[in-house]
Structure 1
Amino acid sequence: MSVLGGPGCHGRIDRADDPALPPAVLVSVHDDAPPAVVREVCAGAEEQGIPTAILAPVGTEGDALARHAAGESRLEVGVGLGPDGAVVVRHALVAGAVLRLAGDAPPGRVRLAGADAARIVAGLPLRTAAQALESSAS
């Protein structure tokens, strides 16, 4: 499968410890994940100035994919994309998932999840969390 992440994405990598690869949020993508979801996640991170790279999948479920990606990333942040397009964002030092989106999430929310993965790296507040709080207040 050829997965293209778009601008700011270093494409599929075989090794996360490649010294030629700059630090990046790693995105572990199930082989059946929708390409549009991959593009939106990578575009969201790129909008925040953080590069991404596609890591070969280890596992089949979004959370396991994200856990592996976070553990391999020098930035300690990873995203897992499940076969249904579900998105899970994890930090290697946090026990649970930081963010989860169902497979039917609209493209704008998927892009926001990618941006939030980059915002974790930068130490900025997550926009998805703020958006959820605004929605529950109305």
Structure 2
Amino acid sequence: MDAVIETAWTVSAIRTALEASALVREGELTLRIIEGAEPVLLATMHDYGDLPIYLSVGGAQIVCSVLLWPVAEQDDRPAFNEFLLKAQRVVPLSNFAITSVNGEDVYELMGELSCNTSLQTILIELRTLAENAIDATGLRETFGAPASDTAAA
């Protein structure tokens, strides 16, 4: 069972802890904080084709997300969206969403954690989300969108 920590995480604390952790494999990821209204941690997952995962901390939760592809590129969007709502078990521990990036709707894959979880669980979430994002590209092709080598940036 994973231990719950007493102190809630911040983006900066997560970065520092991951960079110092023996749990992270050498060359597995690169971390960078993107400053804004709220800081975001960009984890570039090298074991997954340099997949970018964004991690933010707010309230009582940590949110990790991957931008997938523009909604406009998805053929038969109603069927695809219905499939996503019915088949959440296709990508365990992750949720699909639609978010706006520079005025364009983009499919997003997300996972949420408590701010009082262990560093090991945060790393497991990053790895699981990366695997699920790769698996999600197969769904894209199943519903008629063109194959893509990379997720949207």
Q: With the length of structure 1 as denominator, give the TM-score of the two structures.
A: 0.40
Q: With the length of structure 2 as denominator, give the TM-score of the two structures.
A: 0.37
